[in-house]
Amino acid sequence: MTLSRTTISGGQRKNRPATGFNRLMLRTIVFCLVSACLPLAAAALEIDADSQYSFARQLFANQQYLRAAAEFQRFVFFFPRDSRVPEAGLRIARAYLHAGRYRQALKAADKLAHAGYGHQITARAYFLISRCYQLMNSPTQAIATLHNLTTLVRDPAIDDQVAYRLGWIYLEQGNWEKARESFEKVGPERRPDLGIDPILTDLSRADDLPRKNPTLAGVLSLVPGGGQLYCRRYQDALIAFGVNAGLVWAAWESFDEGHQALGTLISFVALGFYMGNIYGAVTDAHKFNRQQTGRFVDTMRRRHLDDRGFVYFRHPGHGAPAAPALALRITF
């Protein structure tokens, strides 16, 4: 503002007619520019429901999940009466789930579940909530959510889906019996689609998995290294035996030579290593069982979930030695 005033006032001092011409020119130019920009501005501001939705979907397809969630939220905000709003709500929750924002996904799905969009959307929202809990390492909550859904919605198709998902949750927990029970609850019409019979056939092999008894491992470790030997940890067994035997011998010799203080100190250390040896053997048995379960579950997933559009997620705890995580798939 200050600049233009100075220019105009400067012009007034020099030549009045020229100033009038300049003003006219300036107004003409401004008018032309504004006229030219108006259609452009109008085009840029126009939001079309289809393009907004497809843009959000494209972001989702490109795995830009957080951006996709934001764009779906924009869609819901600007087009609240659009028929795709419930679907957009589901996609918001899914996007957060894929991005690893489980709490946000849970919140979005929970909101949708109680929005009254009909039982199909409600069921899908509940499935998402259940999956969120599962990924947050709360399988009990995941199971409870699915049970709640069966009481809320009376639909045989949804009951079958619930039974199928419960089966996978139990399977991932290593609870073969309950997994089998759940898979067997799936109705005959949907069994071929969900591949229940091959799953049950493979699941019957779970009982033959090699297992180690943690109690037995602990008892065997009363002789240091025994439990480790039982768990096929031969180096650990040798070291446990050697260290414990060495410490006991050192403590014995110390007391024998009249070095009570040293003997007490060594005994204290020896006791720690002896208890550590027992603790380690019990843990090794549990680790062995967990590893066997993890491998079996991974094999089951590879065989029965890959072709069905399931998505991988990973969380710590299980898996083959090379992968420090348990693979987990989700479906919607």
Partner 1 sequence: MRALQRIRDLGRGNAGLVVFLIAFTLWSAAPALAGDRESATGGSLVSSLDLIRSVLTRADSDRCPMAPSCSAYARRAFRRHGALTGWIMTCDRLLRCGRDEKRLAPRIRINGRIFIYDPIENNDFWWSKKK
- Of the candidate spans 48-56, 153-161, 164-172, 316-324, the one that interacts with partner 1 by CB under 8 A turns out to be 316-324
- Segment interacting with partner 1 (CB under 8 A) among 66-74, 86-94, 203-211, 312-320: 312-320
Please pick, from the candidates 158, 277, 304, 326, the single residue that binds partner 1 as defined by CB under 8 A. Answer: 277
Determine if 171 is a binding residue for partner 1 (CB under 8 A).
Answer: no
Which of 329, 217, 322, 321 lies closest to 277 in space, CA to CA? 217
Contact with partner 1 (CB under 8 A): which of 90, 282, 300, 330? 282
Site membership for partner 1, residue 215 (CB under 8 A): no
Closest contact distance (angstroms) between CB of 171 and partner 1 is 19
Angle, to 10 degrees, between the axis of helix 119-135 and the axis of helix 156-173? Answer: 0
Q: Does 59 bind partner 1 (CB under 8 A)?
A: no
Alpha helices by DSSP H, listed for the chain, are 2-14, 16-45, 49-61, 65-78, 85-98, 102-113, 119-135, 139-152, 156-173, 176-184, 191-194, 196-203, 214-220, 226-230, 234-256, 260-304
Shortest reach from residue 138's CB to partner 1, in Å:
11
68 vs 229, beta carbon nearer partner 1: 229
Closest CA to 292 of 176, 121, 153: 176
In sequence order, what DSSP letters do the residues of 68-96 get, joined into one string? HHHHHHHHHHH-TTSTTHHHHHHHHHHHH
Residues 166 and 109: their CA atoms lie apart, in Å, by: 19
Asked whether position 265 contacts partner 1 by CB under 8 A, the answer is: yes
- Binding residues with partner 1: total (CB under 8 A): 43
> Which of the residues 219 through 258 are near partner 1 (CB under 8 A)?
228, 233-236, 239-240, 243, 250, 253-254, 257
Q: Which of 288, 151, 277, 300 is nearest to 213 (CA)?
A: 288
83 lies in the binding site for partner 1 (CB under 8 A): no
Residues forming contacts to partner 1 in the complex (CB under 8 A) are: 137, 214, 228, 233-236, 239-240, 243, 250, 253-254, 257, 259-266, 268, 272-273, 275-277, 279-280, 282-283, 286-287, 290-291, 316-317, 319, 321-324
